[in-house]
C-alpha cells in the first residue's frame, strides 16, 4: 500500500512539473508586426527633459520631433517641424514652421507649442535635468501663427546640433495640464511613433503614428508596434534573442556579440559610438598629496597602459585608440597632439625619475566596463603600480568625485550624441567638481572656443587647449566605445555613431 | 556468545570516549567524504603559490578565453583554460579558494564571537539578559540581511574587509540561538552547580565548565555559518557588489563568467561547481560531526 | 490565548520599529542621500539646496522620527528617481513578488513534504537517499547559479519555457522552481524527522497493532501530528522567500519588489530601499507572528508557558 502511495505521489509531482511546461513559447517578430526589444535601464520618465539616459533619447526620437533634424547619413541639418530657418545675427534665429501637423492627441501644432516648450525648458526654475542642452537659450518669441524667433544668451556655435535632436517640441495645452510628471508617464508628441501603453520602468508599447506628416525627413514608420521590456542581465537578453522572445538588443558585450553572430537567426552589427573613456589623474592634488601631481608619473601611466591591446581585444569592432580628450568626429577635436605609445620600459624609467623606482599603491575608481579596468590594472601592475579597483555605482562614485576623494578615476562620456567638442572637453576643465586638472589656461581657451562663431578660429583655440591637456597628461584618453547590436535576421536595421537606434527607419525584410 | 565468555576479564579493553568518536568518524561516510574533500581544498588554498601553474593576476589578452584541456582547442598549458583577460583559470581557482575560505572563516569568526557571547550570557544568566538577547535575535531575523548587505556594500564600496565585516555583523543569529539553548540546558547540570557552590567566579565557570561542553554544537553551527557566508558573498558578487577584482574569489569568478554562460559554459561551470563542492563538503562535515557527537540518531 | 496573542503582537510591533530604526541608520550613514536626491550633474550649491530643502542637515534622529511618523500613515515619501510616491512604485510591483513567492512556496511544499514523508516511511532506502541528496544539493547550490542552469536547459536548449518577464503564469515556473528549491531542504528535513518521531510513538504502534490499514494510519494520525512544526516553519519560510526573491527576480527579469530593490540600491534611491526593507521585515514579523499563534492554537502546551 505505502509503496503504491509513494509511486503515485512521485508521479503526481513529476507530471505537475512537466505538464505545465509542455507548450512552446510564443514567438515574437515579423508575424505579428511587432518589434520586441529590451534594455537594462528602468527608465524613470519618458519626458526627455527630465531624464538623462540614452534610453530617454531613444524614446524621445521615436515619439517627438525637434525643429531640425540631422540626417544621420549625410550629417546635414534639415528642417523638421520647421519649414525653414535662418540666422538673423549671431544670437537670433528665425523659424518658419510647417503647417497641418497634429500631435498624437489631436492637438494642432503651431508657434504656440514651440514658444511654450522652449520658454519652459530654458527657464532654470523648471529644473530641466540636462541644463547643457538648454541653458544657451534666452527665450523664444511668437512672430505669427507659424513663425518663431529664438534669442540666444550669447553666440553659441553648436546651436543647430542641439536643436536637431535634444529639444523636442511638446504640445503646449497638454503639457501645461499634466506637467513633467504626467508627461513622463504618458508623453504626447508629433513623432512617427506614439506611446500606447507604459508601465514605468517595466514596459513601453509604441504604435505607428498613421498620421505622421508625409514630407518628414525622418520618413514614414514601417513597423506596426514596438514593445520595450526591461531586462537587467546580458545573458538573459541574449537567451531571449536566440529563442525568439526578443527581436533586437543593444550594448551587447563583445564576446557575447561574437558568439551570437554564429546563431542562425541572429545578425550582429558592431558600430562605433561617440562614447570615449579616459583615466583622470588628480594632478591638482584635490584628494591630498599624491604621485599624480608629478607630470612624469602621469606620463608613466600613459605609457604603461596597452590601449591598443584593450581596444582591439576587449572592445573590438571599430574601436580605436584616441589621443586627445574628445571623440574624433566632433567639431574641434584633433588628433595632432602628443601620443604616448605603449612602452612599459619607458614607463618604469619615468617612474624612477619621478622618485618611484618601486612604483606605488593607489585606488582606481570606476563605474562601468569592469573588464577594461581590470586589464588596465594588469598593465599598471606590470610597471610596479599596484592599483586596487574600487568599483562603485555611478551615483556613489559621483559623490566621491565631487567630494575630492578620487585620485585615480576611470570614466567615460557619451556627449549625448552631440557632434561638437563643447559637449565634452569643456565640461571637465571648467574648475567645477569634476575638474581634477585645474589649469586656468586650459579653462580659458575652452571657454573662448565655446563662444567663437568663426569655425577656423574656434578650431585653433580648441587645438591649443587639447595640446596642453596632452602635454601635461592631465588625463589619459583611452579609446572609443563600440555599440554591439544583435537582432533578428528578419529585421532591417541600421546603426549610427550617436548610438541612438532609429526604429522609424527600420522595417521587416 | 561462547567466545565472549571465554575472554579473560583483564583483556576487555574499554574504548576511551575519544577512541569511540574516532571509530564513529571512521564509519561515517558523509563525514569522511566531506572532510577529505575539504582537506584537499584547504591544501590547494595553502599551497596555491607552489601548485598554481601561473600567476593568477598575469594577464595575456592574446590568449583570452582559451577553453579547458578536454575541449578540442584546449592545451595543457592552461588545463582549465583562461578567462576573459587571458589569466590562467586553474591558478585563479586555486588562489580563489583562499579568498572564499577567508571570507567564510573570517565572517564566521566575527559572527561566532558575537553570537556565542550573546547566547552564552543569555542562557547562563536568564532573566533580563535573556530578554534583551532574545529581542536582538528576533530583530536581526526580521532584517533582510541580503538587502542590507547589498545596500551597505553599494554605498560604502566593496572590498574584502567590508564584505567580511558586513557578513560577520549579520549572521550571528544562529550562533546566539543555539548557544543560548545549549547553555540553558547546562546551567542546571550538576557540575555547574558544583562549581558555583565551590565559589568559582562566573567568567571562570563559563570558560571552564560551560564552553567546553557546548563546543560540539558550536562547531556544527560554525560549519553552517561558513557556508552561509560563502553563499551570500557569491550572491553579492553576482550582483556586482561583492569583493573587488582582480581578487579571484569564486563568487566573483562566477559573476565575471556569467556573460559567457551561453557560449562558453565551462567558464561559469568551473567556479560554480567549486562553490557547490566546497559548501557541500563543509555541510557534510557539519552533519557528520553532529551525528558522531550525538549518536542517538540521524536527524 | 488572547493574552498570549496580545503579547506576541506587541513584541512584533517593537521588532518592526527597531528594524526600521536600524535600517534607517545604516542607509543614511553609509551614503549621502542629498547627492542621490539632487540627481545627475548637480552642483554643490544644488546639493546644499536639496539638503536644506529635505531637512537632511538636521540630526539623524530627528529625521528618523519624522520619517517614521509619515511611514505609520502609509507615506514613505517620494522616490527621487521616479518622482513618484514610493507607495505607488512598490504597490505596482508587490503583486508579482507575492505571486512568485506563493508559487515558489507551493513548489517547495509539493517537493519537500511528499519526499519527507516517503523518506520517513522508508528510511535508508533509495528514496530516502534521493530525498537526502536533493536536500543536500539544495543547500549547497547558489540559487542564482541554479536559475541560470534552468534558463540554459529549459529556456535555451529545450525551449519549453519563456526565459524572462512576468506576463503569463508560464513565466513564473522557472523562477518559482529556482526559488522554491532553495527553501525545500529545511522543510523536507523537518517533515522527515517529525514523521519518524511520530511513527515511532506509542499511539501509532497501537493503531498499527489494532490492525488499522497503513494508509489511514499514515494520513489520519501520523502526518497530522508531524505537520504542526512543519506548518509553522512554512510560514517563516514564505517570509524568507519574499525576502530572498531578489536575486532570482534579477536573473529572470521578473519586475517585482526584489528587482526594484536591487536597482534602487544601484542608483542610491534610498526612500525606496528603506521602504522595501521595512516591508520585508514587516512581512517576516507577521509570518512569525501567525506561525506562533497557530502553534499555540494547535499545541496547548505553548499557550500555558
pLDDT at B139 over 80: yes
The pLDDT > 90 percentage for chain C reads 4
Give residue A171's pLDDT: 95
Give residue A19's pLDDT: 39
- Quickly state the pLDDT bin for C246 (edges 50, 70, 90): confident
Lowest mean pLDDT among A227-241, A368-382, A462-476, C240-254: C240-254
Of residues B157 and A260, the one with the higher pLDDT is: A260
Interface test with B, best of C142, C149, C156, C183 (most B CBs within 10 A): C142
Nearest to C247 among B138, B238, B276 (CB): B238
- What domains can be seen in chain A, in order of their start residue? 3-62+182-271+484-508 (3.40.190.10), 68-175 (3.90.76.10), 273-482 (3.10.105.10)
pLDDT of C163-178, one tens digit each? 888 778 888 899 999 9
**Torsion-angle region of B86 (φ positive above 0: left; ψ -120 to 50: alpha; else: beta):** left
- Provide, as residue numbers in chain C, all residues whose Cβ is less than 8 Å from the Cβ of A135: none
Residue in chain B closest to A238 (alpha carbons) equals B262
Give the C-alpha separation, C15 to B142, whole Å: 8
Q: What is the nearest CA distance from C21 to chain A, expressed in angstroms?
A: 23
B135 touches chain A (CB under 8 A): no
- Whether residues A255 and B240 touch (CB distance < 8 A) is answered with no
Give residue A17's pLDDT: 43
Domain locations in chain C as residue ranges: 2-91, 94-255
- Whether residues C265 and B154 touch (CB distance < 8 A) is answered with yes
Residue in chain A closest to C113 (alpha carbons) equals A9
pLDDT of C86-128, one tens digit each? 998 999 888 889 899 999 999 998 888 888 888 888 878 888 8
Lowest mean pLDDT among A453-467, A474-488, B159-173, C187-201: C187-201
Of residues C54 and A343, the one with the higher pLDDT is: A343
- Provide, as residue numbers in chain B, all residues whose Cβ is less than 8 Å from the Cβ of C156: 262
Give residue A73's pLDDT: 85
Give residue A304's pLDDT: 95
- CATH code for the part of the protein at B28-42+89-297: 1.10.3720.10
pLDDT of A62-105, one tens digit each? 999 999 998 888 888 999 999 999 999 989 999 999 999 999 99
- Provide, as residue numbers in chain C, all residues whose Cβ is less than 8 Å from the Cβ of A240: 163-164
Mean pLDDT for B142-169 is 85
* Neighbors of chain C with 3 or more C-beta pairs under 8 Å: A, B
Q: What is the nearest CA distance from A223 to chain B, expressed in angstroms?
A: 30
Maximum mean pLDDT: which of B63-67, B104-108, C69-73 = B104-108
Give residue A317's pLDDT: 84
- Whether residues C152 and B139 touch (CB distance < 8 A) is answered with no
Interface test with C, best of A27, A227, A228, A243 (most C CBs within 10 A): A243
Nearest to B283 among C18, C27, C136 (CB): C136
Residue in chain A closest to B83 (alpha carbons) equals A371
Cβ neighbors of A508 (< 8 A, separation 6 or more) are A30, A33, A222, A223, A490, A491, A492
pLDDT of B241-282, one tens digit each? 878 777 888 888 888 888 888 888 888 889 999 999 999 999
Assigned C-alpha cell, B79: 588545463
B240 touches chain A (CB under 8 A): yes
- Whether residues A378 and B261 touch (CB distance < 8 A) is answered with no
ipTM reported for the complex, 2 dp: 0.83
Give residue C40's pLDDT: 52
- Quickly state the pLDDT bin for C196 (edges 50, 70, 90): confident
Sign of the dihedral defined by the CA atoms of residues B106, B109, B111, B114, in that order: negative
pLDDT at C144 over 90: no
Give residue B219's pLDDT: 86
- Whether residues A200 and C92 touch (CB distance < 8 A) is answered with yes
pLDDT of A43-57, one tens digit each? 888 999 988 788 999
Nearest to C142 among B154, B155, B234 (CB): B234
Give residue B191's pLDDT: 77
Of residues A15 and A400, the one with the higher pLDDT is: A400
Lowest mean pLDDT among C166-180, C229-243, C247-261: C229-243
Tell me A331's DSSP state.
Answer: B
Domain locations in chain B as residue ranges: 28-42+89-297
Give the C-alpha separation, C274 to C263, whole Å: 13
Per-residue HEC secondary structure of chain B comes to CHHHHHCCHHHCCCCCHHHHHHHHHHHCHHHHHHHHHHHHHHHHHHCHHHHCCCCCCCCCHHHCCCCCCCCCCCCCCCCCCECCCCCEHHHHHHHHHHHHHHHHHHHHHHHHHHHHHHHHHHHHHCHHHHHHHHHHHHHHHHCCHHHHHHHHHHHHCCCHHHHHHHHHHHCCHHHHHHHHHHHHHHHCCHHHHHHHHCCCCHHHHHHHHHHHHHHHHHHHHHHHHHHHHHHHHHHHHHCCCCCCCCCCCHHHHHHHHHHHCCCCHHHHHHHHHHHHHHHHHHHHHHHHHHHHHCCCCCC
C18 touches chain B (CB under 8 A): yes
Give residue A102's pLDDT: 94
Q: Which residues of B make CB contacts under 8 Å with C?
A: 135, 138-139, 141-144, 146-148, 150-152, 154-156, 227, 231, 234-235, 238-239, 241, 251, 254, 258, 261-262, 265, 268, 272, 275-277, 279-280, 283-284, 299
Q: What is the nearest CA distance from B60 to chain A, expressed in angstroms?
A: 9
Nearest to B263 among A259, A313, A371 (CB): A259
pLDDT at A301 over 70: yes
pLDDT of A258-272, one tens digit each? 889 988 889 999 888
pLDDT at A6 over 50: no
Give residue C36's pLDDT: 65
Architecture of domain C94-255: Orthogonal Bundle (1.10)
Assigned C-alpha cell, C116: 519527507
Q: Which of residues 100-129 of C touch A (CB under 8 A)?
A: 110-111, 114, 117-118, 121-122, 127
Provide the mean pLDDT of chain A.
Answer: 88
Provide the mean pLDDT of chain C.
Answer: 82
Provide the mean pLDDT of chain B.
Answer: 83
- Quickly state the pLDDT bin for B101 (edges 50, 70, 90): very high
Interface test with A, best of C253, C256, C261, C267 (most A CBs within 10 A): C253
- Provide, as residue numbers in chain C, all residues whose Cβ is less than 8 Å from the Cβ of A45: 82-83
Give residue A25's pLDDT: 40
C149 touches chain A (CB under 8 A): no
Mean pLDDT for C196-219 is 75
B57 touches chain A (CB under 8 A): yes
Give the C-alpha separation, A71 to A204, whole Å: 26
Give residue B30's pLDDT: 83
- Quickly state the pLDDT bin for B12 (edges 50, 70, 90): low
The pLDDT > 70 percentage for chain C reads 92
* Neighbors of chain B with 3 or more C-beta pairs under 8 Å: A, C
- Whether residues B84 and A371 touch (CB distance < 8 A) is answered with yes
- Quickly state the pLDDT bin for B192 (edges 50, 70, 90): confident
Q: What is the nearest CA distance from A202 to chain B, expressed in angstroms?
A: 19
- Whether residues A129 and C40 touch (CB distance < 8 A) is answered with yes
Amino acid at each position: 500500500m505505502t509503496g503504491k502511495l509513494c509511486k503515485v505521489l512521485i508521479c503526481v509531482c513529476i507530471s505537475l512539473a512537466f505538464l505545465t511546461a509542455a507548450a512552446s513559447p510564443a514567438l515574437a517578430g515579423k508575424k505579428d508586426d511587432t518589434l520586441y526589444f529590451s534594455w537594462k535601464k528602468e527608465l524613470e520618465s519618458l519626458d526627455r527633459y527630465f531624464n538623462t539616459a540614452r534610453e530617454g533619447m531613444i524614446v524621445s526620437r521615436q515619439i517627438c520631433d525637434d525643429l531640425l533634424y540631422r540626417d544621420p547619413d549625410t550629417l546635414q541639418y534639415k528642417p523638421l517641424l520647421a519649414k525653414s530657418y535662418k540666422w538673423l545675427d549671431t544670437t537670433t534665429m528665425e523659424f518658419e514652421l510647417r503647417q497641418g501637423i497634429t500631435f498624437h492627441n489631436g492637438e494642432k501644432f503651431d508657434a504656440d507649442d514651440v514658444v511654450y516648450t522652449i520658454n519652459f525648458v530654458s527657464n532654470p526654475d523648471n529644473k530641466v535635468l540636462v541644463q547643457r542642452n538648454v541653458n544657451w537659450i534666452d527665450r523664444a518669441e511668437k512672430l505669427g501663427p507659424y513663425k518663431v524667433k529664438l534669442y540666444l544668451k550669447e553666440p553659441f556655435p553648436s546651436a543647430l546640433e542641439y536643436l536637431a535632436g535634444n529639444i523636442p517640441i511638446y504640445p503646449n495645452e497638454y503639457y501645461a495640464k499634466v506637467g513633467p510628471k504626467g508627461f513622463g508617464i504618458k508623453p504626447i508628441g508629433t513623432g512617427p511613433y506614439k506611446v500606447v501603453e507604459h508601465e514605468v520602468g517595466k514596459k513601453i508599447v509604441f504604435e505607428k503614428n498613421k498620421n505622421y506628416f508625409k514630407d518628414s525627413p525622418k520618413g514614414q514608420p514601417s513597423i506596426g508596434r514596438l514593445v520595450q521590456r526591461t531586462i537587467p542581465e546580458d545573458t538573459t537578453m541574449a537567451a531571449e534573442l536566440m529563442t525568439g522572445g526578443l527581436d533586437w538588443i543593444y550594448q551587447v558585450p563583445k564576446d557575447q556579440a561574437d558568439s551570437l553572430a554564429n546563431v542562425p537567426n541572429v545578425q550582429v552589427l558592431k558600430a562605433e559610438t561617440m562614447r570615449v573613456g579616459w583615466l583622470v589623474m588628480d594632478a591638482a592634488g584635490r584628494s591630498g598629496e599624491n604621485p599624480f601631481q608629478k607630470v612624469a608619473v602621469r606620463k608613466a601611466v600613459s605609457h604603461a597602459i596597452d590601449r591598443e591591446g584593450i581596444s582591439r581585444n576587449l572592445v573590438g569592432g571599430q574601436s580605436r585608440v584616441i589621443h586627445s580628450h574628445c571623440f574624433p568626429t566632433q567639431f574641434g577635436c584633433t588628433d595632432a597632439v602628443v601620443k604616448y605609445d605603449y612602452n612599459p620600459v619607458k614607463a618604469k624609467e619615468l617612474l624612477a625619475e619621478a622618485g618611484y623606482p618601486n612604483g606605488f599603491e593607489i585606488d582606481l575608481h570606476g563605474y562601468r566596463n569592469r573588464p577594461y579596468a581590470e586589464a588596465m590594472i594588469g598593465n599598471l601592475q606590470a610597471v610596479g603600480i599596484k592599483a586596487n579597483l574600487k568599483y562603485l555605482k555611478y551615483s556613489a562614485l559621483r559623490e566621491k568625485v565631487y567630494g575630492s576623494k578620487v585620485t585615480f578615476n576611470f570614466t567615460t562620456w557619451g556627449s549625448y550624441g552631440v557632434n561638437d567638442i563643447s559637449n565634452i572637453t569643456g565640461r571637465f576643465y571648467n574648475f567645477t567638481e569634476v575638474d581634477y586638472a585645474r589649469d586656468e589656461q586650459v579653462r580659458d581657451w575652452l571657454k573662448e572656443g565655446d563662444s567663437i562663431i568663426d569655425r577656423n578660429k574656434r578650431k585653433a583655440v580648441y587645438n591649443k587647449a587639447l595640446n596642453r591637456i596632452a602635454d601635461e597628461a592631465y588625463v589619459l584618453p583611452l579609446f572609443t566605445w563600440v555599440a554591439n547590436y544583435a537582432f533578428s535576421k528578419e529585421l532591417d536595421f541600421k546603426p549610427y555613431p550617436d548610438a541612438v537606434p532609429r526604429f522609424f527607419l527600420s522595417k521587416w525584410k | 556468545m561462547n567466545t565472549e565468555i571465554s575472554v579473560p576479564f583483564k583483556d576487555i579493553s574499554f574504548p576511551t570516549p575519544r577512541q569511540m568518536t574516532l571509530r564513529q568518524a571512521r564509519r561515517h561516510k558523509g563525514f569522511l567524504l566531506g572532510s577529505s574533500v575539504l582537506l584537499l581544498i584547504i591544501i590547494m588554498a595553502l599551497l596555491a603559490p607552489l601548485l598554481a601553474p601561473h600567476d593568477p593576476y598575469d594577464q595575456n589578452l592574446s590568449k583570452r578565453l582559451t577553453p579547458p584541456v578536454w575541449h578540442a582547442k584546449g592545451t595543457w598549458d592552461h588545463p582549465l583554460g583562461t578567462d576573459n583577460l587571458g589569466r590562467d583559470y586553474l591558478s585563479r581557482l586555486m588562489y580563489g579558494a583562499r579568498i572564499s575560505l577567508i571570507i567564510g572563516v573570517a565572517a564566521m569568526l566575527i559572527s561566532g564571537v558575537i553570537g556565542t557571547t550573546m547566547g552564552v550570557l543569555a542562557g547562563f544568566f536568564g532573566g533580563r539578559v535573556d530578554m534583551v538577547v532574545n529581542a536582538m535575535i528576533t530583530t536581526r531575523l526580521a532584517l533582510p540581511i541580503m538587502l542590507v548587505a547589498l545596500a551597505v556594500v553599494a554605498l560604502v564600496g566593496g572590498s574584502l574587509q567590508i564584505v567580511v565585516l558586513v557578513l560577520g555583523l549579520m549572521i550571528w543569529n544562529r550562533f546566539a540561538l543555539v548557544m543560548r539553548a545549549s547553555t540553558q540546558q547546562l546551567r542546571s547540570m550538576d557540575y555547574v552547580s558544583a562549581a558555583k557552590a565551590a565559589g568559582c567566579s562566573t567568567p571562570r565557570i563559563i570558560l571552564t565548565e560551560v564552553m567546553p561542553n557546548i563546543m560540539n554544537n558550536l562547531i556544527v553551527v560554525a560549519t553552517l555559518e561558513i557556508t552561509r557566508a560563502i553563499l551570500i558573498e557569491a550572491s553579492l558578487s553576482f550582483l556586482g557588489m561583492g569583493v573587488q577584482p582582480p581578487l579571484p574569489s569564486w563568487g566573483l569568478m562566477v559573476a565575471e563568467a556569467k556573460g559567457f554562460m551561453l557560449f562558453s559554459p565551462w567558464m561559469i561551470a568551473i567556479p560554480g561547481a567549486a562553490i557547490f563542492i566546497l559548501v557541500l563538503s563543509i555541510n557534510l562535515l557539519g552533519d557528520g560531526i553532529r551525528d558522531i557527537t550525538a549518536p542517538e540518531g540521524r536527524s | 490565548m488572547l493574552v498570549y496573542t496580545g503579547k506576541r503582537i506587541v513584541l512584533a510591533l517593537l521588532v518592526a520599529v527597531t528594524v526600521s530604526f536600524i535600517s534607517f541608520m545604516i542607509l543614511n550613514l553609509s551614503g549621502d542621500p542629498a547627492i542621490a536626491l539632487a540627481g545627475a550633474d548637480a552642483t554643490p550649491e544644488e546639493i546644499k539646496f536639496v539638503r536644506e530643502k529635505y531637512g537632511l542637515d538636521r540630526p539623524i534622529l530627528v529625521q528618523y522620527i519624522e520619517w517614521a511618523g509619515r511611514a505609520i500613515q502609509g507615506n514613505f515619501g517620494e522616490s527621487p528617481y521616479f518622482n513618484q510616491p514610493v507607495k505607488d512604485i512598490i504597490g505596482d510591483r508587490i503583486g508579482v513578488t507575492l505571486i512568485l513567492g506563493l508559487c515558489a512556496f507551493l513548489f517547495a511544499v509539493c517537493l519537500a513534504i511528499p519526499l519527507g514523508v516517503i523518506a520517513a516511511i522508508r528510511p535508508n532506502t533509495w528514496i530516502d537517499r534521493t530525498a537526502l541528496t536533493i536536500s543536500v544539493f539544495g543547500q549547497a547550490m547558489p540559487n542564482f547559479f541554479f536559475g541560470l542552469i534552468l534558463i540554459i536547459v529549459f529556456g535555451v536548449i529545450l525551449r519549453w519555457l519563456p526565459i524572462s518577464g512576468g506576463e503569463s503564469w508560464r513565466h513564473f515556473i522557472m523562477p518559482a522552481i529556482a526559488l522554491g528549491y532553495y527553501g525545500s531542504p529545511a522543510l523536507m528535513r523537518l517533515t522527515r524527522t517529525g514523521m519518524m518521531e511520530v511513527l515511532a510513538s506509542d499511539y501509532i504502534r497501537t493503531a498499527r497493532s489494532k490492525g488499522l490499514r497503513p494508509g489511514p494510519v499514515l494520513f489520519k494520525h501520523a502526518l497530522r501530528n508531524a505537520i504542526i512544526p512543519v506548518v509553522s516553519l512554512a510560514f517563516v519560510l514564505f517570509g524568507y522567500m519574499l525576502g530572498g526573491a531578489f536575486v532570482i527576480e534579477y536573473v529572470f527579469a521578473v519586475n517585482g519588489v526584489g528587482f526594484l530593490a536591487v536597482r534602487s540600491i544601484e542608483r542610491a534611491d534610498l526612500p525606496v530601499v528603506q521602504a522595501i526593507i521595512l516591508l520585508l521585515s514587516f512581512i517576516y514579523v507577521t509570518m512569525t507572528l501567525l506561525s506562533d499563534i497557530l502553534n499555540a492554537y494547535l499545541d496547548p502546551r505553548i499557550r500555558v508557558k
